[in-house]
Amino acid sequence: MSKKPDFDALVNNKRIDNVDTSALNILFSLFDKPEVISFAAGLPTQELFPREELVKIAPKVFIEDGAKSLQYGAAEGYAPLREKILARTKNLYGVEKSLDEILLASGSQQAMDLFCKTVIEEGDVIFVETPTYMGALNAFQQYFPKFVSLEMDDEGISIEDLKAKMEMYPNAKCLYTIPTFQNPTGKRMSLARRKELLEAVKDTDLLILEDNPYGELRYSGEELPTLLALDDCDRVVYMGTFSKIFVPGTRIGWVLGPKELLAKMKKFESAGELQGNTITQHLANAYMEEFDLEAHIVEIKDCYRKRRDAMLEALEKYMPEGCTWTHPDGGLFLWVTMPENANTNDAFDYCVAEGAAYCPGEGFFANDVKYNYLRMNFSPHTEEVIDKGVKMIGDGLKKYLATL
């Protein structure tokens, strides 16, 4: 018999060790418990996926348009779709970009990977928010950066802290931010703070990576300009996605940025996967031609606004004393602060025993992990289920707190 390769030795490399997805394990444990009402993941509601519309356009995409949707395509993505995304960017944010300033990626998650492959070398400093999106930390970790965490208040990143950290790390490469309806907190950077941020970095080479998957899901409050729109020197590299406003399974995201940078990112796109998915790019393009994406987004917002309100109301009714939470104007998430001595990893099982789950906060910290936070996603459940599930969470947390 031939020798079986020793996989333990073969896959024992420092890249694997550097990517820490352990905070996800607690969430994977929910896969075996479909009866649990989960507020843990960041899932869009599936009843609003435009399934019938996609079926209607399938003959056009697969038959009338010929075999183009099934063939290999350009690494930068299907040009008609890129044009439509650029037209929306102009309408929404007043930003005009050309076709060589947009690159499609397999979701904004892959866009982060391409960005890091292109920009980040071992030991480079990336400034991140506290807390920040755990998936971004995982994407960045593959390239061995040094994360430097920036303090945040209700208006976003603390500029004072940023200035202090810029003095300590004058060669920092980039600042990763989700300024609008952040994951995990739901917070939105104020207009004044956006301007102060760009002002604070104006004499540096620091790149700002603006991640904006939730910006179009605004339920209250005024529209604010993106950092991309406020940028006057090609400093902001912007990532958008269809995941939360259309269908996450299409795996279509995009990067808008300076063409010099995008040309290099495209090189890695070619090297890594040749190109993104032609079929879904053609489907999204045909959907935008035949149907009204903007009307669809209004429908999603109407649904999520009610769910956000239901969750805020339920939290008020059922959460134990000593807990506070954010009141987001948009996005999918609320961020709950428990008393300082609480640990939301330990409280998790108490809530699951009651029948509901949340996402513990641990994985959202790049440095100085805090354990007394948790994230709740209100998008996937009806108002009735939200009320029922939040009561279970409240009961579980009360039982856990009684043990301290």
Ligand X SMILES: Cc1ncc(COP(=O)(O)O)c(C=O)c1O
Give the nearer residue to ligand X in terms of CB position, either 108 or 158: 108
Give the nearer residue to ligand X in terms of CB position, either 38 or 241: 241
- Tell how far CA 356 is from the center of its chain: 23
Q: Smallest gap, in angstroms, from Cβ of residue 131 to ligand X?
A: 11
Closest residue to ligand X, Cβ-based?
107
Q: Smallest gap, in angstroms, from Cβ of residue 262 to ligand X?
A: 17
Residues 6 or more apart from 80 whose CB is under 8 A from it? 285
| Cβ neighbours, 10 Å, residue 336 | 22
Q: Smallest gap, in angstroms, from Cβ of residue 231 to ligand X?
A: 19
Q: Smallest gap, in angstroms, from Cβ of residue 363 to ligand X?
A: 12
3-class SS of residue 376:
strand
Q: Smallest gap, in angstroms, from Cβ of residue 212 to ligand X?
A: 8
Q: Smallest gap, in angstroms, from Cβ of residue 109 to ligand X?
A: 3
Q: Applying CB under 6 A, which residues contact ligand X?
A: 42, 107-109, 133, 135, 178, 183, 211, 213, 241, 243, 248, 253
3-class SS of residue 177:
strand
Give the nearer residue to ligand X in terms of CB position, either 139 or 338: 139
> Is the Cβ–Cβ distance between 364 and 176 less than 8 Å?
no
Distance from C-alpha of 254 to C-alpha of 279, rounded to nearest angstrom: 16
Give the nearer residue to ligand X in terms of CB position, either 166 or 226: 226
Helices first, then strands: H and E counts in the chain = 15, 15
> Is the Cβ–Cβ distance between 262 and 103 less than 8 Å?
yes
Give the nearer residue to ligand X in terms of CB position, either 81 or 166: 81
Distance from C-alpha of 247 to C-alpha of 245, rounded to nearest angstrom: 7
Give the nearer residue to ligand X in terms of CB position, either 283 or 342: 283
3-class SS of residue 33:
coil
Closest CA to 273 of 398, 154, 109: 109
- 119's tokens: 């920009």
Q: Smallest gap, in angstroms, from Cβ of residue 139 to ligand X?
A: 9
Give the nearer residue to ligand X in terms of CB position, either 136 or 352: 136
Element (DSSP H or E) covering residue 319:
none
